[in-house]
Amino acid sequence: MPGDLYLTPAELCGLTGYKTRPGVSKWLERNSWPHAGCGKDGWPRVLRQYHDDRMMGLAPARKKAAPEPAWSVT
């Protein structure tokens, strides 16, 4: 529902193009979308306000963290 705090599973599928929870989660990670774990239904939680702001260009994309150095490789 548009009045909800979080995007619905159908909206997440529409945003990502994936129809499964793991697919949606991977897309969110790969595209640096902040999300809160999973709800009782197992779907990731994305704030509707962040979605709306990002779609309008008001919220910048989050930068990906630099990968950890491979200290074990010598």
The two structure tokens encoding residue 58: 């008001």
Query: In this structure, is residue 74 part of a structural domain?
Result: no
Angle among Cα 23, 43, 63 to the nearest 5 degrees reads 65
Does some domain include residue 36?
Answer: yes
Question: Per-residue pLDDT tens for 9-67?
Answer: 999 999 999 999 999 999 999 998 999 888 888 999 999 999 999 988 887 666 666 67
Q: Tell whether 41 is covered by a domain.
A: yes
Taking the mean position of all CA atoms in its chain, how far away is CA 25? Answer: 6
Instruction: Kindly state whether residue 25 falls inside one of the protein's structural domains.
Output: yes
CA-wise closest residue to 50 among 62, 67, 65, 64:
62
Is 13 inside a domain boundary?
Answer: yes
Write down the pTM of the prediction: 0.74
| Domain that residue 29 falls in | 9-54
Count the domains in the chain.
Answer: 1
